Chain A
Amino acid sequence: MSIIKDYYDVIVIGAGPAGSVSARFAAENGASTLLLERDQGPGNPVRCAEGVSHNGIVPFIEIDPKWISTKIEQARLYSPNGDYLDMFQNGTGYVLDRTLFDPALANLACQKGAQLLTKADAIGLIYDNDKISGVKFRYFDKIYDVKCKIVIGADGIESRVGRWAGIDTVLDLKDLDTCVQYTLTGLDISSLRVDFFFGREVAPGGYIWIFPKSKDTANVGIGIAGDLVTDKSPKEYLDEFIEKKFPNASVLRSVCGGVPTAKMLKNPITDNLILVGDAAHQVNPITGGGIVQVMIAGQFAGETAAEAIKANNYSEKFLRKYIKKWNNRLGANQSFMYSVKEKFMRMDNERFNNLVKICSAIPSEKLTLKEFFKTIVKGDPMMILQLAKAFVTSKLK
């Protein structure tokens, strides 16, 4: 059994993608690193639809067919009236098997020298002269106080770490999607395509997704904006959809969860502490996708933590490097996606029907999700029409 030391340079709380990548980059850059996972192991349970882009994950891990469920080539968006729009995304996508992907990421951290403990539940921070100086955690039935210079909180949407450190992580209802997902089997679907269903009656302020795990199995889930929830629960909306669409399906797995669809936290750092991932609200606010973004953030967090150790400077001011790196890489995209969300997710059924109808004129191989979202942000129906015409004209020439 691994021995728990009294001190590590960095302690990372949570071994999801954000935490494991943080730990890996901290360790790789010379910091002694402890990674704590509350559950039985990384990737257990999976509260995720499991979709990622090829280009997004290759910088972090070599593709292994073992944790790829399906390769995705196409996305289909259904409008409330049942019309649909096919899009070929920028490059290949995958639906992952995160029960294997998350352990693979954690294993990479371990290979770089980080020490992972499972069933290790952080229960508080330790302070020395009002400075964060370690983590208190329960490991099986014993409580440990372990010192460190930097704590990285990657503890998901709950983010107790953020609260302990006095960072305001509370989400507004409008910036939270409340989600339920079943893994269904006994289906007859395309394993190459992800489907999205929109509409006020389908999923207010959000959408229903079908992400294939194979030809007969898929993650079928729903997200509803917190401020548009009615007496009907997300589970009831999803159950109705499934009864109509897949009346003969069986359920292999069911999970609930929340997805932050907010802007990134204004200040996800304080002296001796960095928040990363869902805990820092680093999720794409419109799609709710976060795996790739939080891995990028994890790299920046891990690198910054290791630099702080080398510089012997753990002040909030020094740790701002992490935010700078994030802002340079993804800050603009995050703000753009947030403004898209505010328009897109609040469209009424009629407007959505029209948008899909107009965009149908654009050849699907030219229509990417990003183009589609840009069209929405412009918000002007005439612009959409012009865009459609432009594509059609270019095709005729």
Chain B
Amino acid sequence: MTINPYLCDVCGTCVSVCPVDAIVVEENRVVLDNEKCIRCRKCVIVCPVKAISEKN
């Protein structure tokens, strides 16, 4: 999973749906842990600006 920093507004919506706690907001950035990620795509779906994609 990759987060496009130009689109991301650091709103935390993705964090609220992640079932495995793989996304955190740190120092005003959203950080996604690809080791923890189970590729459920919920964050991809709910991001208001589609900033998250499955590309690595």
Contacts and interface: CB of A to CB of B under 8 A. Distances in A.
Interface of A: 47, 121, 156-160, 163, 169-173, 176, 178-180, 226, 229, 233-235, 254-258, 260
Nearest to B30: A158
Contacts of B11: 47, 255-258
Most central of A169, A229, A255, A256 by chain B CB within 10 Å: A256
A256 B49 contact: yes
Nearest to A234: B48
B48 A170 contact: no
Interface string B11-48: 11101111101001101000000000000001001111
Contacts of B12: 156-158, 257-258
A169 B25 CA distance: 16
A223 to B, nearest CB: 9
B41 to A, nearest CB: 10
A180 B50 CA distance: 11
A156 B13 CA distance: 10
Interface range, B side:
20 to 34
Contacts of A156: 12
B24 A226 contact: no
Contacts of B21: 163
Contacts of A173: 17, 42, 45-46
Contacts of A158: 12, 15-16, 25
B47 A260 contact: no
A157 B13 contact: yes
A256 B45 contact: no
Given A163-B21, A257-B11, A180 B48 contact: yes
Interface centre among B9, B13, B21, B45 (most CB of A within 10 A): B13
A180 B27 CA distance: 22
A171 B16 contact: yes
Given A229-B46, A233-B49, 11 more contacts: A156-B12, A158-B15, A171-B16, A172-B17, A173-B17, A176-B13, A180-B49, A226-B46, A234-B49, A235-B50, A256-B11
B13 A170 contact: no
Contacts of B15: 157-158, 160
Contacts of B16: 157-159, 169-171, 176, 258, 260
A170 B43 CA distance: 12
Nearest to B48: A256
Nearest to A221: B48
A178 B50 CA distance: 11
A229 B13 contact: no
A208 to B, nearest CB: 13
Nearest to A224: B48
